[in-house]
Amino acid sequence: MTEAAMRAEFIGKTIDGHFHHGGLWTVAFFADGGMDHYQDRRRRMAGHWFFRGVVFCSVPEPAFRGDSKIGCWSIVKASANCYYYYRVAAGEDEPTDTVSRDSRWYARGWRQAEASTCDEKPTV
């Protein structure tokens, strides 16, 4: 997806999803660059988001960093409201790659306010 497409479909919205290993997550991306991420849809981690070209990254605020410093993603839109997230290598606060080198999706998500279309056959 392009940065413009991701901004239109994610910013100002709440996204639900699950990791390939089954864990659940929810994240709200605010227009001011802030975000609230909920692991297992319970534990809140505040942070901020940014783009580096077609890579979408999120960084927890220092109080929430622990194991999690930065997450960067190449995102593929599979259907009207279904997105596959592929991990992009990242350093301390920036991606170190411009695209994902993974062949397996790490997470799958959908906009919370609309019905998920992740059970539909992929269109792209």
Q: How many domains does the chain have?
A: 1
What pTM does this model have? 0.86
Sign of CA dihedral 67, 68, 71, 77: positive
Residue 82 lies in a domain: yes
* Greatest alpha-carbon span in the chain: 40
Q: Is 6 exposed, middle or buried (0-12, 13-18, 19+ CB in 10 A)?
A: buried
What is the tens place of the pLDDT at every residue in 21-70?
Answer: 888 999 999 999 999 988 776 778 889 999 999 999 998 887 766 656 78
Q: Is the pLDDT of residue 113 over 60?
A: yes
Whose tokens are 């995102």? That residue is: 75
CATH number at residue 77: 2.40.128.640
Could you say which DSSP state residue 96 is in? Answer: S
76 lies in some domain? yes
Q: What is the pLDDT of residue 120?
A: 64
Question: Which structural domain, as residue segments, surrounds residue 71?
Answer: 3-111
Residue 21 lies in a domain: yes
Q: How many C-beta atoms lie closer than 10 Å to residue 58's C-beta? A: 18
Asked if 15 and 110 count as a contact pair (C-beta separation under 8 A), the reply is yes
The pLDDT value recorded for residue 67 is 59
